[in-house]
Structure 1
Amino acid sequence: MAETNTSKFPIYAVIVTVVFKLLFLLTHYIQEDAFITWRVAQNLLDYGVIGFNGDTKISASTTHLYVFVSYLFNLVFGKEHFIEPLLIFNSILFTIGTLLLSHLVLKNPWHKAIFIFLIGILPPAIKISILGMEYGILFFLEMILLYYGFHKGKKWVLTLLPVLIMFTRIDTVIFLGIIFLVDVFWNRKIRWNYIFGGILGVLCTVAFNWFYFGELVNNTITAKKLLYEQSFTFQQNVNYFLVSFGNFWGMLKVPGNFNPVTIIVLIFELLCFIYLVRQRQNRNYFLWIIFMFGWAKQIVFISQKSLFDWYYWVPQLLLFVPVLIFVLEQKVKRNLWLSLLIVLYILPMMAFQTIHSIATGNGEWNYRRTIGLFLNTYEKDKNQWILLEPAGYVPYFSGLKTIDEVGLVDKQIQGEIKKDKKNYWINTVKNRKPKYLLSYKNLYEGTNAEALYYQSHYKLLKEFRVKDHLNSDNKILEKIYHLKPSGTDYNLYIRID
């Protein structure tokens, strides 16, 4: 069937996919870091300052554009009701992005519709849509750039979109750079509008950081590098890669350094890509872009020991695109190929994500959020400080001023890390005397000076245990909670002097 402008199948697929994925809102699985961005947005609303603790400026969020979008949703819907509309908005934008991607790589409207739905229910797509991170907007902007800028040739898109993309995440320079390299190699010419847009994007992002925050890159990058940076031998790097790579290419995070599912999928993705680009179609231009970007992004981030799985969501999806195209365009036994793909991979992946979302949503929303709600009720003075890690749910729902272990939301702790990395936690407690400490471990254990200090100046206020939140009236949910318990045991301490 030839592509026609009148076909509504892909549009219907967008609607069905969005509605289907909204069921995942019921799991309450929202990424911890989303609450950092939303607190920054609310800090802007309350204090007129992009920060985390009152009128102190700090780029605590990894994304500037999403902070402003979250600010608008808070403004329109209110702090109590903005989350669901924003998650729906993210899901709609991401799914429209898959529609634009389908226009770039497929011709048959039915194929596009199936492509949109199948890619939309893969684990990374569900997480991009529902977990509250900035990747729904980012994917939408990236696909607009490819479709309207490089497919339709809109010069204003080539100039404006790199600015918006860079302002969403600074690491998108990898995506923009891969597009430039493929475009120059493919067309043997330079698009100066795009060059100008890229330069403008870098300048706008860096200038905003410098003039507003007094730094060239986001504080989140500086903080993570400062705390997590380590020296590895060659053998340690090899071992690290072997342990880590299986978590990213296969869409399924499993422990250990051998994941046969990941290896099979990786090989199949490569074979499908090679098969498609040998057909010498115009879409090869876009296949090269998305496939090279997928590999480049994953290799760069794995080499930098970046284990946060959200860095890999978009590359995971883009690397899987050739598989879907290959299966959809089979002329012999297409239904068999498609059925095998759905039964052996798509449905198991979705089932895994469903269980993961239910269990993790329980551990985050029903457990970790409880700690914040307890503190919100217990401590009425919101100018009191708490030292903890991570800085998402508990600070957001408690409303307390926050020092996080990494220094994402508070720069002063970075000074302690620079002075004495081994003892920075206890030194921060002694110097700043936060009223509350939330720790993974029992601070009273041992007979050393640290334990004695905690025993003298802090008392245990409350214990929070994951096992206490694994019950449900629904027996199926309870089995899932016990199958994959999510969360960390905490001890909450309060200063007594």
Structure 2
Amino acid sequence: MAESQNKNLPVYAVFFAIIVKLYFLLTHHIQEDAFITWRVAQNLMDYGVIGFNGATKISASTTHLYVFVSYFFNLIFGKENFIEPLLIFNTVLFSIGSLFLSHLLLKNPWHKAIFIFLFGILPPSIKISILGMEYGILFFLEMALLYYGFKKEKRWALLILPVFILFTRIDSVIFLGIVFLVDTFWNRKIKWSYVLGGILGVGVALAFNWFYFGEFINNTIVAKKLRYDNNFTLQQNWDYFRLNYGNFWGMLKLPGDFNPFTILVAVFEMVCFIFIIRQKEQTQRNKFLWMIFIFAWTKQIIFLSQKSLFDWYYWVPQILLFVPVLIFVLEQKEKRNLWLSALIVFYILPMLAFQTVHSIATGNGEWNYRRSIGLYLDLYEKDKKQWILLEPAGYVPYFSGLKTIDEVGLVDKQIQEEIKKDKTNYWMNTVKKREPKYLLSYKDLFSGKDAEYYKSHYKLLKEFRIKDHLSSQNKILEKIYHLKPSGTDYNLYEKIK
């Protein structure tokens, strides 16, 4: 009886980890880009078209599979009530993925249970679970592939799961490629079913893009590359890396351009990894450790080299790089409890506290503040065929319902043409050519070189200031808001009739 209960401990840990993380729903910390995907899903409901602005097709969301999942959640729960069920669904999938990962790396049920829980409450895991992005689904699919395809050697997993993985995110080809290389090197033979699965995955993703959108590469990738393309010198590349590395290898963002904490964590992760893989008797486990560790480093290096600033690209690599630390501590033969206690007290709990503060502050800045701009416009402008030019294209377009031109071109291709013609003046050129009824800007448009044009064609409708949203009747919340204010000041302009 006791042995049977021990076998179920990892499953109990999954439920416990899910329940503990659900309190983050109260913070309303939801990533801006999630609302782009959700608007695309609702556009599919309303117009029968995968797009953002009415009947115009555009791959405005990075992920196709998550668009369809969001579409079904909208159908089932309705537009007003689907968000919380979908976030819970993402959390459940991530937690099941962590169960698969524990089966790959550990044997003792107690170790698996502790691993699942501690792994699940670290900042990247919380963000993958709760922030509304597609990474909960992606992590589940990737870990299912490793567990069923490469541990259980199920042919169906090798054929089908790569298709779903690539349909979730096309850049997950990095993960599939690293897994293929490590497995082939390890076993000295090729899994042809997996090769076929990879070919099917790439074929399905590219064919869907081509036959539906008329493009092979998602518009989001093209737009970001076009807008953020910079030719850096060697010194500028080094300065860029020095200023940003702490955001990607660490689990928290610290102010300043030197983050010794991140270096310490990265070194300890490497030391633990080397210590574990030297255990030659754990041949099968070592293969999976090599897979996830090489993938995590490769993904981060590739995206850093491409100047990818968006932190959600690094959530899965961040959490996978920490896996050897958890295994190292759990498998200590002497003073295990001391090691585990030190890890929890000096790292896990501080990280959880940091993420709690971060989510409360960011949730206030996004949900209470930025959403209020969209709600204001929703009440002010009843004609949802009117256009707004802004950045970013998440909260405000979603809650206002207005047609949208975003600065980057994620949801509108015409502005990309203006960027190609004249990157310096593309905003002004877009305003003159398309005359959107509303402009939402970080800047004061009535000062600067084009001030006279704006003054003669637009009026300042309303100022939105983050300082007006830093108060709360709860003094603890108010202190958090002031400790880490999240949000940007905006000026909203309306076209003069």
What's 2:241 paired with? 241
Q: Is the 1:470–1:478 contact (alpha carbons within 8 Å) kept by the matching residues of 2? A: yes
Instruction: Give the superposition deviation at 1:256.
Output: 2.6
Which 5+ residue runs of structure 1 have no aligned equivalent? none
1:66-96 Cα offsets, whole Å, 9 max, x none, are: 0000000000000000000000000000000
Q: Is the 1:34–1:132 contact (alpha carbons within 8 Å) kept by the matching residues of 2? A: yes
CA distance in 2, matches of 1:279, 1:326: 11
CA distance in 2, matches of 1:340, 1:261: 16
Aligned with 2:85: secondary structure? helix
What's 2:268 paired with? 268
What's 1:351 paired with? 353
What's 1:8 paired with? 8
1:223-253 Cα offsets, whole Å, 9 max, x none, are: 0111110101111111111111111111111
What's 2:161 paired with? 161
What's 2:342 paired with? 340
Amino acid in structure 1 at the alignment position of 2:369 = Y
Amino acid in structure 2 at the alignment position of 1:231 = N
CA distance in 2, matches of 1:465, 1:258: 30
What's 2:106 paired with? 106
CA distance in 1, matches of 2:10, 2:40: 37
Q: Is the 1:248–1:312 contact (alpha carbons within 8 Å) kept by the matching residues of 2? A: yes
Q: Is the 1:470–1:482 contact (alpha carbons within 8 Å) kept by the matching residues of 2? A: yes
What's 1:185 paired with? 185
1:116-159 Cα offsets, whole Å, 9 max, x none, are: 00010000000000000000000000000000000000001001
CA distance in 2, matches of 1:421, 1:298: 28
Aligned with 1:459: secondary structure? strand
Give 1:363-374 correspondences, 5 Å limit: 363-374=365-376
TM-score, normalised by the number of residues in structure 2? 0.98
What's 1:442 paired with? 444
What's 2:316 paired with? 314
Among 279, 287, 295, the residue aligned to 1:293:
295
Aligned with 2:460: secondary structure? strand
CA distance in 1, matches of 2:298, 2:265: 18
Instruction: Give the superposition deviation at 1:7.
Output: 1.2
Aligned with 1:49: secondary structure? coil
What's 2:413 paired with? 411
CA distance in 1, matches of 2:104, 2:116: 12
Q: Is the 1:3–1:107 contact (alpha carbons within 8 Å) kept by the matching residues of 2? A: no
1:431 aligns with 2:417: no
CA distance in 2, matches of 1:243, 1:434: 36
Q: Tell me whether 140-149 or 242-251 shows the greater mean CA deviation.
A: 242-251
Aligned with 1:8: secondary structure? helix
What's 1:55 paired with? 55
CA distance in 1, matches of 2:317, 2:286: 17
Q: Is the 1:52–1:60 contact (alpha carbons within 8 Å) kept by the matching residues of 2? A: yes
1:466 aligns with 2:497: no
CA distance in 2, matches of 1:113, 1:173: 30
Q: Is the 1:3–1:109 contact (alpha carbons within 8 Å) kept by the matching residues of 2? A: no
Amino acid in structure 2 at the alignment position of 1:366 = N
CA distance in 2, matches of 1:62, 1:199: 20
Give 1:205-220 correspondences, 5 Å limit: 205-220=205-220
Instruction: Give the superposition deviation at 1:178.
Output: 0.3
What's 2:395 paired with? 393
TM-score, normalised by the number of residues in structure 1? 0.98
Among 261, 283, 286, the residue aligned to 1:284:
286
Instruction: Give the superposition deviation at 1:257.
Output: 2.8
Give aligned pairs, total.
494
Aligned with 2:322: secondary structure? helix
